[in-house]
């Protein structure tokens, strides 16, 4: 059924204007003033912003990690994402050494199929570059549309890959048109510092932060950027937390390198002192890289505003406080790393960014949606409001004042990292491919509605939207 979204303020990464949007068959087919179409359902957006759906390029749903599995899966995680204004997630498909990549991708398809309520895609973790992997990667790109690879420079003896693997991955990515993502921290030195802390009897959550200093994130970021230059390839640094890493990315970009950086809402709003909360509550804030000293927040906001960082992901990776985080009672290194962020990413960026004058409305759309779509081969099908794009739309009421809390969020996890934070603005109605997933604050979606997205290769974002429109017809 056709729909017209009426009377809203449409905001894209480049424009802000009053207008109506006509949707047919899941696609935006017309944008104009006072649109009329007999039989179309009218959706009133008076007083609201009409944003392109958020694209979260960094989630870990239903992921085994730290001896347990994340609480939120592709069902609860994508429902929470939708309530938060996110209409596409790109999740990390983990692989194991020696096993075919294809089997890992199949595992991720099994986790997500029939569950996701919004659209989704996968990045593929690369932990070794063997002849088998080299043979399989082009096939994965072609058949699965997976055009981004993730290399971990940390989590020694678990996920960490060596520099040779990173370099070889950068070379394949250059050749095949893929984007290499890195978790940039020096895992070897961190491993040493963690053992030393535990030997000295330092077991509390705060030592998670103290054993992963910012300089080790800056060092790894610079190393990855240098290897990218040597390979003449492209790099995306996930979850940037500190000045030391921002400087390395800015320096690489000044040299003209294709190096990009993502930060997350938690690093923009929380800080290292949260790990000192009493009664082991600091464990709720244990993820990697760790929360930093507060002074880094201004550096991150400035970097988003001036383009040194380009995107905001959530790094959703939720573990319950009771029964999961407490695996690390008496040993901070056993606290499962990760936090629940998928639902609040969009609103926190609006509230702390736009409302507090740190980001323009258009920059906000750019960092939560548009550039994410461009870098990961989804634009312009996703990431904007334009004729021919999917009707992934968030009707956002900027006048609502609310308090973030576990009592009102839709994730399954038993705490909120942003408990008590006052925010302005709420995604009230969310459409994915023209269908309501959230309507006036109520979930009306369906597990299994979300479609798996095959993505374009790196650098192929400039082609027109994929769907052909009827020409000379009713529109």
Cα–Cα separations (whole angstroms), residue 377 to 112, 121, 155, 466, 471: 20, 11, 28, 12, 26
In the bound complex, what is the minimum distance in angstroms from residue 260's beta carbon to ligand URP? 16
Q: How far apart are CA 295 and CA 432, in angstroms?
A: 38
**Residue 337: contacted member of Zn ion, ligand URP, none (CB under 5 to 8 Å, by partner type):** ligand URP
**Choices 27-35, 178-186, 214-222, 229-237; region in contact with Zn ion by CB under 5 A:** 178-186
Would you say 287 or 436 has its CB closer to ligand URP? 287
Q: 289-328: which residues touch Zn ion (CB under 5 A)?
A: 315
Stretch of 23-31, 181-189, 204-212, 217-225 contacting Zn ion, by CB under 5 A = 181-189
Q: Does 333 bind ligand URP (CB under 6 A)?
A: no
Please, what is the minimum distance in Å from the beta carbon of residue 68 to ligand URP? Answer: 12
Whose Cβ is closer to ligand URP: residue 287's or residue 364's? Answer: 287
Region 261-290 residues binding ligand URP, contact defined as CB under 6 A: 287-288
- Select 66 or 377, whichever has its Cβ closest to ligand URP: 66
- How many whole angstroms from its chain centre is CA 235? 16
- Pick 287 or 379: Cβ nearer ligand URP: 287
What distance in Å separates the CA atoms of residue 265 and residue 348, rounded to the nearest whole number? Answer: 7
- At 209 the three-state DSSP class reads helix
Question: Helix (H, G, I), strand (E, B), or coil: what is residue 105?
Answer: helix
Least Å distance, CB 240 to ligand URP, is: 12
Sequence length of the chain is 475
The span from the CA of 174 to the CA of 177, in Å, is: 5
Q: Does 337 bind ligand URP (CB under 6 A)?
A: yes
Question: Considering beta carbons, is residue 208 or 433 the nearer one to ligand URP?
Answer: 208
Residue 450 found at the interface with ligand URP (CB under 6 A):
no
Site for ligand URP in 55-114 (CB under 6 A): 60
62 near Zn ion, rule: CB under 5 A: no
Site membership for ligand URP, residue 342 (CB under 6 A): no
Instruction: Report d(CA 451, CA 465) in Å as an integer.
Output: 17
Tell me if 315 contacts ligand URP by CB under 6 A: yes
CB of 57 to ligand URP, least distance (A): 12
Based on DSSP, count helices (H) and strands (E) in the chain, helices before strands: 13, 19
Please name which of 87, 71, 81, 69 lies closest in space to residue 410, comparing C-alpha atoms: 81
Whether residue 295 contacts residue 341, with contact meaning beta carbons closer than 8 Å, is answered with no
- Write the DSSP symbol of residue 71: S
CA dist 116 → 79, 324, 428, 438 (Å): 8, 24, 20, 14
Per-residue contact flags (x/-) with ligand URP for residues 171 to 210, judged by CB under 6 A: ------------x---------------------------
Where would I find the beta strands (DSSP E) of 283-363?
Answer: 311-312
Q: How far is the CB of 324 from ligand URP (least distance, A)?
A: 13
Query: Contact at 8 Å (CB) between 238 and 181?
Result: yes
- The residues facing 11 across adjacent strands are 16
Nearer to Zn ion by Cβ, of 37 and 185: the residue is 185
Residue 199 CA to residue 256 CA, distance in Å, equals 45
Q: Given the complex with ligand URP, which of 338 and 434 has the nearer CB atom?
A: 338
Contact 376, 179 (CB under 8 A): yes
Is 338 one of the binding residues for ligand URP (CB under 6 A)? yes
Position closest to Zn ion via CB: 183
Look at residues 147, 89, 156, 146 and name the one whose alpha carbon lies nearest to residue 117: 89
Q: Of 115, 123, 183, 284, which one interacts with Zn ion (CB under 5 A)? A: 183
H-state helical runs in 129-213: 131-144, 163-176, 187-199, 206-210
Distance of alpha carbon 212 from alpha carbon 194, whole angstroms: 8
Angstrom distance (rounded) from CA 472 to CA 451: 30
The site partner of 287 among Zn ion, ligand URP, none (C-beta below 5 to 8 Å per kind) is ligand URP
Residue with Cβ nearer ligand URP (280 or 443): 280
For Zn ion, give the closer residue by CB, 144 or 219: 144
Which positions touch ligand URP (CB under 6 A)? 60, 183, 287-288, 315, 317, 337-338
Which positions touch Zn ion (CB under 5 A)? 144, 183, 315
């Amino acid at each position: 059924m056709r729909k017209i979204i009426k009377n809203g303020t449409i905001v894209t990464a480049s424009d802000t204007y009053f207008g109506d949007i006509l949707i047919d068959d899941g696609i935006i087919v017309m944008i104009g003033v006072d649109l009329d179409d007999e039989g179309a359902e009218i959706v009133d957006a008076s007083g609201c912003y009409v944003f392109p759906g958020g694209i979260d390029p960094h989630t870990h749903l239903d992921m085994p990690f730290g001896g347990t599995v994340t609480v939120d899966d592709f069902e609860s995680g994508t429902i929470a994402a939708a309530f938060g204004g996110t209409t596409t997630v790109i999740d990390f498909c983990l692989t194991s050494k020696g096993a075919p990549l294809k089997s890992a991708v199949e595992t991720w398809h099994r986790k997500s199929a029939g569950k996701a309520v919004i659209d989704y895609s996968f990045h593929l973790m690369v932990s070794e570059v063997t002849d088998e992997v080299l043979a399989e990667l082009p096939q994965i790109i072609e058949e699965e549309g997976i055009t981004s690879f993730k290399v971990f420079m940390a989590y020694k003896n678990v996920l960490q890959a060596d520099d040779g693997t990173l370099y070889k991955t950068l070379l394949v990515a250059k050749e095949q048109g893929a984007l290499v993502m890195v978790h940039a921290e020096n895992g070897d030195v961190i491993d040493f510092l963690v053992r030393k802390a535990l030997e000295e009897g330092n077991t509390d959550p705060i030592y998670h932060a103290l054993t992963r200093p910012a300089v080790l994130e800056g060092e790894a970021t610079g190393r990855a950027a240098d290897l990218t230059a040597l390979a003449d390839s492209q790099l995306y640094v996930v979850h940037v937390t500190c000045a030391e890493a921002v400087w390395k990315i800015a320096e690489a970009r000044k040299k003209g390198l294709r190096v990009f950086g993502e930060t997350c809402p938690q690093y923009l709003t929380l800080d290292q002192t949260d790990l000192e909360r009493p009664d082991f509550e600091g464990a709720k804030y244990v993820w990697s890289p760790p929360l930093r000293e507060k002074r880094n927040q201004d550096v991150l906001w400035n970097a988003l505003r001036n383009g040194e960082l380009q995107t905001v992901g959530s790094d959703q990776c939720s573990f319950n406080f009771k029964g999961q985080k407490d695996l690390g009672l008496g040993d901070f290194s056993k606290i499962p790393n990760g936090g629940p962020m998928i639902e609040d990413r969009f609103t926190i960026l609006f509230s702390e960014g736009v409302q507090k004058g740190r980001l323009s409305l258009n920059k906000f759309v750019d960092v939560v949606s548009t550039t994410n779509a461009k870098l990961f081969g989804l634009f312009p099908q996703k990431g904007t409001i334009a004729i021919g794009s999917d009707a992934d739309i968030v009707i956002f009421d900027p006048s609502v004042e609310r308090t973030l809390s576990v009592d009102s969020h839709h994730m399954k996890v038993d705490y909120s990292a942003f408990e008590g934070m006052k925010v302005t603005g709420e995604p009230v109605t969310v459409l994915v491919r023209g269908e309501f997933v959230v309507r006036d604050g109520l979930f009306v979606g369906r597990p299994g509605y979300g479609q798996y997205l095959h993505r374009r290769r790196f650098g192929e974002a400039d082609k027109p939207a994929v769907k052909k429109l009827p020409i000379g017809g009713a529109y």
